[in-house]
Amino acid sequence: MSRIAKKPIPIPEKTEVTYTSGTIVVKGPLGSLTKEFRPEIEIKIENNEVTLTPVRNSIDILALWGTYAAHLKNMLAGVNTPYQKKLIVEGIGFKSDVKGKELNLALGFSHPVQVIIPDDLKVTAEKNVITVTGINCESVGQFTAKVRALKKPEPYKGKGIRYDDEVVRRKQGKKSV
């Protein structure tokens, strides 16, 4: 049983939510988001609140119930305040810059690494900090994870790309006698 989905989700001011034949559309001051939902979860919009109820009780539908509630809350939050994640590039000679719709990275490889920025995201690179902002929580998280995976932080010197709030556990290294 989902505790998250039992409560009705309030719709903030200046935000519209419409649901037609499995597709939910959330429009707000920053833009609009659409998502396909399966018909096993019934969605009702009344009195500036959205309520989700499962059609029948089975394990997979009850799991979807909480997941859909979380997706809907993320959509409502995203169209009002944008999601933002920061990546820190650490290491000698490691650089990042944005040119047009590409993020160019120098990560110590023999070649520069270029990552295409999705249309719904805004990416800025200043010194060693990459900032990713957007209204879709999933695409912001997916893009930052993709960039971080190019050069994960290593435990000896801490070189690589890490999240702003991530703590890299350091190892001692080789001891000299």
Please tell me the predicted confidence (pLDDT) of residue 1: 55
Banded pLDDT at 63 (limits 50, 70, 90):
confident
What mean pLDDT value characterizes the chain? 91
Token reading at 20? 């037609």
**Is 37 in contact with 23 (CB distance < 8 Å)?**
yes
Instruction: Give the CATH number of domain 83-163.
Output: 3.90.930.12
What are 110-133's pLDDT values in tens digits?
A: 999 999 999 999 999 998 999 999
The DSSP bridge pattern shows strands 9-10 and 49-54 to be antiparallel
pLDDT at 29: 93
Amino acid at 165: D
Tell me the DSSP string of 64-92: HHHHHHHHHHHHHHHTTS-EEEEEEEEST
The whole-model pTM stands at 0.88
| Residues 6 or more apart in contact with residue 171 via CB below 8 angstroms | 155, 156
Which residue is associated with the tokens 């047009």? 100
Say if residues 88 and 128 touch (Cβ distance below 8 Å). yes
Per-residue pLDDT tens digits for 66-105: 899 999 999 999 999 999 999 999 999 999 999 999 999 9
pLDDT band at 2; cut points 50, 70, 90: low
Task: Return the number of other C-beta atoms located less than 10 Å from residue 71's C-beta.
Answer: 17
Residue 73 to residues 7, 9, 28, 50, 117, Cα–Cα distance (Å): 12, 7, 13, 10, 25
Closest by Cα among 130, 84, 77 to 107: 130
Q: Is the pLDDT of residue 155 over 70?
A: yes
DSSP string, 30-74: TEEEEEE--TTEEEEEETTEEEEEESS--HHHHHHHHHHHHHHHH
Domain ranges of the chain: 9-78, 83-163
Q: Give CATH for domain 9-78.
A: 3.90.930.12
Equal fold, 9-78 vs 83-163: yes
